[in-house]
Amino acid sequence: MNPAVPDRYRWDLFECPVGNMIAVVNEASAAVRVEFLTRAKADRVLSSFGDGTALKRDARALAPLRRQLAEYFAGRRKRFEIPLAPSGTAFQLSVWRALKKIPYGQTRSYAQLAEALGRPEAFRAVGTANGANPLPVLLPCHRVVGSDGSLHGYAAGLAVKSFLLKLEGAIE
């Protein structure tokens, strides 16, 4: 590691009921990435932060996020209090802000989300922005379903999306 380059990001791996997760926070302890894992995905997440000179594994820095996620998976937390710092286009950021407004235990369709953004024709773009969400669970893209209530697309797979919605009581 190059000592002249400050460690800008901290990361850690941890277990959850549907497998492992990787999380990355910035120097202000705001979450920038959270993903359900495969080994290949972990390598991809870490490589997305450049050559690694800005990364440091630091369980202590991620302890608040780990605790809140553990509380969520145990059914004791409905709202996260971790600062978030996702990177994306203006449209993606607007979709991700709208995701935060979907209450725990409820769902919205892609069309409803597009309508809420004042862009009813953009439901496919909403789906694309959901797929690019760097902070699943924290920005609850799992709460977005098809207009008929069916489960569509989730980066971690439909089984994980179903698990999260059942955990929240949104589906049986």
Domain residue spans in the chain? 9-73, 90-167
Out of 62, 111, 141, 160, pick the active-site residue.
141
Residues 6+ apart with CB under 8 A from 100: 139, 140
Residue 58 tokens, joined = 């630091």
Nearest residue to 162 (alpha-carbon basis) of 134, 136, 139, 143 = 143
What does each C-alpha distance from 69 to 62, 75, 151 come to in angstroms? 11, 10, 23
State the CATH architecture for 90-167.
Orthogonal Bundle (1.10)
The CATH number of 9-73, from 3.30.160, 1.10.150, 3.40.50, 3.30.1540, is: 3.30.160
- What are the φ/ψ torsions at residue 139 (nearest 5 degrees)? -105, 95
**Do 90-167 and 9-73 have the same topology in CATH?**
no
16 catalytically annotated: no
DSSP conformation letters of 4-72: TS---EEEEEEEETTEEEEEEE-TTS-EEEEEE--HHHHHHHHHTTTTSTTEEE-TTTTHHHHHHHHHH
Nearest residue to 11 (alpha-carbon basis) of 56, 63, 60 = 56
pLDDT in tens, the chain (172 residues): 334 434 589 999 988 998 899 999 999 999 999 999 865 566 677 677 766 656 888 999 999 999 999 999 999 999 999 999 999 999 999 999 999 999 999 999 999 999 999 999 999 999 999 999 999 999 999 999 999 999 988 888 899 999 999 999 999 8
